[in-house]
Structure 1
């Protein structure tokens, strides 16, 4: 938890046009950033459990207590994709494994949205590992606890990727799902979650056997499965419902190969 990392900085493109900032906002919302950093970017406590620990997302605005004014775009990109903060220190419970493959362009648009957002004065919430959280991390059950440990920091980042109905793009979108559904996307207990949270569903081809492309997309958009049952917390369908048709169709194509 106290280990430091040396990450090579990569130049991040700058975006100022309203259309690009709007895409950055959609990325923020659809990739679940608000689940930990709140809808306004000011941060929120997303786990508060005596055994697992207390974890709060950072204030990503330029207000008092926020980190935005003290970070360059390149430093923010390292935090997003590598799970590493200031002075090379690992960020706790930052799910960078979901974002390590994000393109330079998408990261740039996401950061452009953050820089365009109103400042919110709010101090950083508590960030403390509990005894069970530490134990589960030590035995490898919570990789996201220190995601920097499992990320290839030497990998080259794509400059951009063209949205298309392809396996490549579907895999790109699917990285958003690994934090809860696991690297294999076959579900199971959600890493670091309190015991009352239900396990994540298997979203491989077998797990989605009762879905068609159409009902899969409808489920993500409405929160209701084909059998009429509702998806419950912590499934962030409201966020994922903001994925584009191309993203969801490409995701479906990729999941069918697993």
Structure 2
């Protein structure tokens, strides 16, 4: 967990228009950033388990205790897409595998939005893996503890990707789902989750056999399955509900191809 990585920075575009900042906010919300960094970007403790550990998201604002003033856009992008922080140090429990394919345009709008939010004075919360968490990491059960080990740091990121109902774009959106549903999206126990958390569902074609495109999108929008049952925490349907119709249709198309 103390390993360091060398990542070559990529020039990140800056955005100032209200439309672009609004898209950055939607990306922050729909990609689940607030689950760890809170709705205002100030960070929060999202796992507090004696065995797994205590894990807190960083304060991403310009307030006291925040990291924004001490990071360039390029450094922030490396943290988001590579799971690597200042001085090459691995970020603990940063699910960068979810965001490693994010385009320069999307990550630029996300960062520009973060720079526009009001500063919040809030010191960094505790980040302390517990004994079981460390053991599970060592045997490969919780790779998200150091997601930087799972990422190709020499990859060239796309400048942009046009939102279309296509397999390519659906796969791009599906990256957001890998942190809980696994890289193959077949579900199972969520890595690093306390034992009381339910396992993630299989969201391949097999797991979604009882869904249609219409009921799939409706379930994401409402948090209710076709049979009327409610999606249980930690399924972040409230965040995913902010995905656009194009994103959800492309996601459905891609999931049906697996």
TM-score (norm 2): 1.00
Match of 1:188 in 2: 188
Say yes or no: does 1:105 pair with 2:109: no
TM-score (norm 1): 1.00
Say yes or no: does 1:47 pair with 2:47: yes
Q: CA deviation at 1:133?
A: 0.3
Q: CA deviation at 1:143?
A: 1.1
- Can you give the 5+ residue segments of structure 1 that lack an aligned partner in the other structure? none
Q: Secondary structure, in 3 states, of the residue corresponding to 1:194?
A: coil
Match of 1:58 in 2: 58
Q: CA RMSD in A?
A: 0.3
- How does 1:139-154 map onto structure 2 within 5 Å? 139-154=139-154
Q: Secondary structure, in 3 states, of the residue corresponding to 1:118?
A: coil
Q: CA deviation at 1:69?
A: 0.4
Match of 2:30 in 1: 30
Say yes or no: does 1:135 pair with 2:135: yes
Runs of 4+ in structure 1 over 2 Å off: none
Say yes or no: does 1:241 pair with 2:241: yes
Match of 1:202 in 2: 202
CA distance in 1, matches of 2:24, 2:143: 27
Q: CA deviation at 1:187?
A: 0.2
Q: Secondary structure, in 3 states, of the residue corresponding to 2:123?
A: coil
Say yes or no: does 1:121 pair with 2:121: yes
List per-residue Cα deviations over 1:129-181 (Å, max 9, x = no partner): 10000010011111111000110101110000000010000000000000000
CA distance in 2, matches of 1:119, 1:14: 19
Q: Secondary structure, in 3 states, of the residue corresponding to 1:55?
A: strand
Say yes or no: does 1:228 pair with 2:248: no
CA distance in 2, matches of 1:137, 1:158: 31
- Can you give the 5+ residue segments of structure 2 that lack an aligned partner in the other structure? none
Match of 1:219 in 2: 219
Q: Secondary structure, in 3 states, of the residue corresponding to 2:229?
A: coil
CA distance in 2, matches of 1:61, 1:13: 19
